[in-house]
Amino acid sequence: MSEIAALHPVVRVWLLEGPLSSHVPSYVARLRRGRYSGSSTRQCLNSLAHFSHWMALCSLTMKSLDDGCIDQFLRYHLPRCNCPGEALRTPELLHAALTALMAILRENGAIAELPTPAGPIADELRNYDTSMRDARGLAEGTRSAYLRIVERLLLYKFADRPVVFGELQPDDVRRFIANQLESLDSISNAKTIAATLRAYFRYRATCGDAVQPLLAVIVSIAHWSLASLPRALKAEEVDRLLSSFTATLQSPRRGYAVVRLGLDLGLRSIEINRLQLSDIDWRTGTVTLKRTKSRQQEVLPLPLETGRALEAYIRHERPQTSFGTVFVRHLAPHNKPMGVDGIRRVVRDAFMRVGIPHGRSHALRHTLACRIVNQGGSIKEVADVLRHRSLDTSLIYAKLDHGALAGVALPWPGSAQ
């Protein structure tokens, strides 16, 4: 294989004589299907070779290989690695390459599939998912996030035995939360876990279970509603942002169209990610959102500048692909839609280029809302444009209605006015 012939001799030996040698052809075939560039192919194969060399040093067999081994390699071997200088040591590249390796090994039956809940736990998760979908109308992404945490709780308590909810004790919940925060001790993670468990226990209450003692041990994380200000962009920051998509970038038209959709229509990253070519009606000048957070279909007007940005990208820059999504990958693996993380990265990179510190894609929605308010629009108009189901969600933008706030501001004590 020419891809392997281009590698350093030491790396080639690790690859062809190591414990992963029989799976190298499958890995190379995957790289070819994805039309990876020569440099990316070499990086992936170098990652595979480095990991194979480490497996040999640790006498690690294929039968004992799992995702924990990759974590051990990246966490403990890489920081103190003294392998020959040809070994790749970039954590992000190694993680991506080895994640693909694990998928190939599972497809080939070389290692076991990821464990999935079965029996009583699977039944419980299915019932809870149905309740979230039908009774609460939660979107698929939200339900999946909730189910992941509930699954961990049920496996923590009821692994290999029936789910008897009455056996779940407050101490079990305390220990589970502490265990989860050991792996990621952050305020956002703590809030997510607390909200998920509360929602699940309230569901169990509708099934007739006594959940009050369990709810009592879930501590509320300090959070004051509407305490912060939305991080909106100023007019000159918007100009700098839109001007940053120059011909020196790899996909300037795509990035420009993504940002315009956020600024002009207030689309969320996941809504941009899910947008299909068939959702754009060029004759009537509308965009139909069929896969929204609220699970409702929305028809939005397509502003002229936004339409021109989309047209320029689709006509002149969008690669040929069998997918109907508007935004597709320009880098390997090719012929695939952009992921939602890719959309966010486009916006984040643009923020970094022009020196804007609050570089989250949601800032584009905030900017649109603040522009509506400061031009005399009502909070109800903001809620309609941003497609908030509750008016309370939009109330935070009342803080940025400078004209209205100036009218109710009291004079400072001791001032002349």
Query: pLDDT by residue (tens digit) across 343-355?
Result: 999 999 999 999 9
Same domain flag for 396 and 273: yes
Contact partners, residue 136, CB within 8 Å, separation at least 6: none
Q: What is the mean pLDDT of residues 377-405?
A: 64
Same domain flag for 239 and 200: no
Same domain flag for 273 and 366: yes
Is 410 inside any structural domain? no
Same domain flag for 40 and 19: yes
Q: Which pLDDT value is given to residue 127? A: 94
Surface-to-core class of residue 339, CB atoms within 10 Å of its CB (0-12 exposed, 13-18 middle, 19+ buried) = middle
pLDDT digits (tens, 9 = 90+) for 36-78: 989 999 999 999 999 999 999 999 988 888 888 898 899 889 8
pLDDT digits (tens, 9 = 90+) for 8-39: 999 999 999 999 999 999 999 999 988 898 99
Cis-peptide, bond into residue 333, ω within 30° of zero:
yes
Angle between helices 170-183 and 187-206 (to 10 degrees): 150
Q: CA-CA distance, 338 to 33, in Å (whole number)?
A: 17
Q: How does the average pLDDT of the chain come out, rounded?
A: 86
Is 417 inside any structural domain? no
Same domain flag for 321 and 386: yes
Domain of 6? Answer: 2-107
Is 112 inside any structural domain? no
Same domain flag for 296 and 383: yes
DSSP 281: E
Is 225 inside any structural domain? no
pLDDT digits (tens, 9 = 90+) for 248-303: 999 999 999 999 999 999 898 989 999 999 999 999 999 999 866 656 788 999 99
How many domains is the chain partitioned into structurally?
3
Same domain flag for 63 and 164: no
Q: CA-CA distance, 68 to 112, in Å (whole number)?
A: 13
The CATH number of residue 160's host domain is 1.10.150
Question: Around 212, how many Cα atoms within 13 Å sit in the side-chain half-sphere?
Answer: 0
Of 216, 243, 272, which residue sits at a domain end?
216
Same domain flag for 316 and 395: yes
Q: CA-CA distance, 153 to 149, in Å (whole number)?
A: 6
Q: CA-CA distance, 19 to 64, in Å (whole number)?
A: 12
Is 228 inside any structural domain? no
- β-partners of residue 289 are 298
Count CB atoms within 10 A of the CB of residue 256: 26
